[in-house]
Amino acid sequence: MDDPERRKWQDPEAILSLVGLREGMVFADIGCGEGFFAIPAARRVGPQGRVYAADINAEAVESLRSQAREEGLGNIIARAGEAEETVFCDGCADIVFFGIDLHDFRDPVTVLRNAARMIGDRGRVVDLDWKDEPMELGPPPGVRLSPAKASSLMVSAGLTVLSLQEAGPYHYLVIARR
């Protein structure tokens, strides 16, 4: 679901462009909420692409499904459930994406191992996360993952970190592969 307040500090289309999401790709949004990234991703990948979306909040997933129906986006498969138990496919995803939520999971390494299982040989795991510095937005500093910690979790899950970059005034991106 589009969130005008959040759009003031985060542009989902720009981030999806930055991570290389293109028409025809398969995108998995783990911790999708109401679809702040999943809906723009579905528009971007088009009818030949696919978006898998998962969130522990069943109401948020239903809101995402409703918006997808309203927009005629038949390329979204959404499910409610824990990320630690979510694997949509083996080797089918081009990008598995975590949008400012990796710190929320009970077992982030298991979640990242699931992501590694979902990406194809050329696929990427992308963590968009809060910078680990004081600011009014986002979770408390003690909850945030530093870029080094996020990268370490990815390595612990068997991934190789390809890049770390800024993603706006409040966030960074870690991109990894198998």
64-78 pLDDT per residue, tens: 999 999 999 999 999
Residue 115 has pLDDT above 80, yes or no: yes
pLDDT value of residue 7: 86
* Whether residue 120 has pLDDT greater than 80: yes
The total of other beta-carbon atoms located within 10 Å of residue 49's CB is 19
Query: pTM for the complete prediction?
Result: 0.96
Query: Residue 146: its pLDDT value, please?
Result: 94
What is the number of structural domains in the chain?
1
* Mean pLDDT computed over 6-12: 90
- Give exposure, 102-136, as e/b (b: 16+ Cβ within 10 Å): bbebeebbebbbbbbbbbeeebbbbbbbbbbeeee
Q: What is the CATH number of the domain that holds 48?
A: 3.40.50.150
User: Helix H segments across 36-77?
Assistant: 38-45, 58-71
Residue 1 has pLDDT above 80, yes or no: no
Q: Which domain holds residue 170?
A: 4-177
Strand 50-55 to strand 76-80: parallel, antiparallel, or no bridges (unpaired)?
Answer: parallel
